[in-house]
Amino acid sequence: MKIFVFFGPAGSGKGTQAQYLKSDHGFHHLSTGDMLRSEVNSNSDLGNKVKSVIDSGNLVTDEIILDIIAKNISTLTSGNDHAGIVFDGFPRTIAQANGFDAILSSMNLSVDQAFLFDLSLEASLDRIAGRRIDSRNNDVYHINSNPAPESVVPFLIHRDDDQPEKVTHRYELYKQQTQPLVEFYSDRLITVDCELTISQIHAQFDQQIRSFEHKF
């Protein structure tokens, strides 16, 4: 079972490329952001605890995140399901990366490939200002570069943490807390230049995947 991790600033396109790994290569897609938002929407104890943290653009504690990951990974790895898993937006700190290694090694697994989705603050702000989410299934659109079909428009939301000042704060946190993962995963890191259009990013990502497809 192959384990991939995706990290990069908000708006870099991690979720879009993770969806592609899911549809074209049969990977499971686990997004910690989506999992946390569904806890918030279901009004669970955990959801109520993390709502204000997410809305303010801060990071949820490593302990909560590692707990969610441990639960989800054991569901996916039980039984005969050997499809790979792509972790989108996790790990986001060195403590999460270490905790993840411990969880994986207890299952005789390890991170096979890490992907850095590289994006400047200016491009992150621009992408997130226009980002809209389908509240029913978390599909992502952009008002200019990827507009939603007419039938989806009534369900679109603009996330509270997608306001410009929150995006700037999230970018600063990314630099401080997440960027050190470049060093942590330096022996198995692929960098994707995300300043390009979605289709150019996709082509670049696809080429990287195909170059080592024989391995999975």
* Residues binding ligand ADP: number (CB under 6 A): 18
Query: Which residue's beta carbon is nearest to the bound ligand ADP?
Result: 33
Q: What are φ and ψ of residue 200, in 5° steps?
A: -70, -40
Measured CA to CA in angstroms, residue 38 lies from 50, 88, 128 at distances of 11, 15, 20
Subset of residues 138 to 167 that bind ligand ADP, contact rule: CB under 6 A: 161
CA angle 114, 119, 124 (to 5 degrees): 125
Nearer to ligand ADP among residue 95 and residue 190 (C-beta): 95
Question: Binding of ligand ADP at residue 54 (CB under 6 A)?
Answer: yes
Measured CA to CA in angstroms, residue 130 lies from 27, 140, 147, 148 at distances of 28, 10, 10, 12
User: In Å, how far from its chain's centre is CA 153?
Assistant: 24
Of 55-63, 73-81, 144-152, 193-201, which part binds ligand ADP (CB under 6 A)? 55-63
Subset of residues 78 to 107 that bind ligand ADP, contact rule: CB under 6 A: 89-90, 92, 96
Subset of residues 15 to 44 that bind ligand ADP, contact rule: CB under 6 A: 32-33, 36
Nearer to ligand ADP among residue 19 and residue 32 (C-beta): 32
In contact, 30 and 140? CB cutoff 8 Å? no
- Where b means 16+ CB within 10 Å and e means fewer, 80-98 reads eeeebbbbbbbbbbeebbe
Of 59-67, 100-108, 113-121, 182-190, which part binds ligand ADP (CB under 6 A)? 59-67
Contact residues for ligand ADP (CB under 6 A)? 10, 14, 32-33, 36, 53-54, 57-60, 65, 89-90, 92, 96, 161, 170
